[in-house]
Amino acid sequence: MTEFLNLKTKYPDLIPIRMDFECGPGWEKVLDKYFGEVAAALPSETRLRLERVYEKYGSLWVDAMPEGPVANLVHLALDKAEVLADSRSYRYCETCGEPGGLRDKHWLYVACEAHANGAPLSRQTNAGSNSTVLPTNMMGPGLGRCHTEGETSD
């Protein structure tokens, strides 16, 4: 678990003070960009219900939704911020934040060479471009993971 005190200070209206992040400190920049995009998208009177931030299948997942009704454009902006955060997390080591790639050593994780523990880049990583291509079955809920009232996150 990571505290991300800098992010909690920077985004006090978005991140509950008692929030525990279930991902490594290397994704702080990815999360900072995500929360910046969310802050820009949310109307000033709308709060974010941030339920969980975690690593799954090697990437960053965020379970969050606006509290109360918002325009479809706001939902689209939140979905876009989440998908971009997921995509960005595949390019940075979860431990230190340096450029990295998806590794597979009986589980999927993103690491730089220094934190790879000997695991080579996954076959799904496009080696010269520092981007990751995932098969459809690994995309999870994929686009639109932000959900509305009454829907579950799984």
E-strand stretches of the chain: 48-56, 59-66, 101-104, 108-111, 125-126, 131-132
* Domain-embedded: residue 144: no
pLDDT at 114: 96
* Domain-embedded: residue 150: no
Query: Are the CB atoms for 117 and 105 separated by under 8 Å?
Result: yes
* Domain-embedded: residue 129: yes
Residue type, 84: L
Asked which of 9-18, 27-36, 56-65, 119-128 is least confident by mean pLDDT, the reply is: 119-128
Query: Are the CB atoms for 32 and 7 separated by under 8 Å?
Result: yes
State the total domains in the chain. Answer: 1
Q: 93-120 pLDDT, tens per residue? A: 999 999 999 999 889 999 999 999 988 8
* Domain-embedded: residue 145: no
Query: Are the CB atoms for 62 and 140 separated by under 8 Å?
Result: no
- What is the chain's percent helix, strand, coil content, to nearest 5? 30, 25, 45
* Domain-embedded: residue 153: no
The domain in which residue 60 lies consists of: 5-138
* Domain-embedded: residue 143: no
* Domain-embedded: residue 91: yes
Q: 18-60 pLDDT, tens per residue? A: 999 999 999 999 999 999 999 999 999 999 999 999 999 999 9
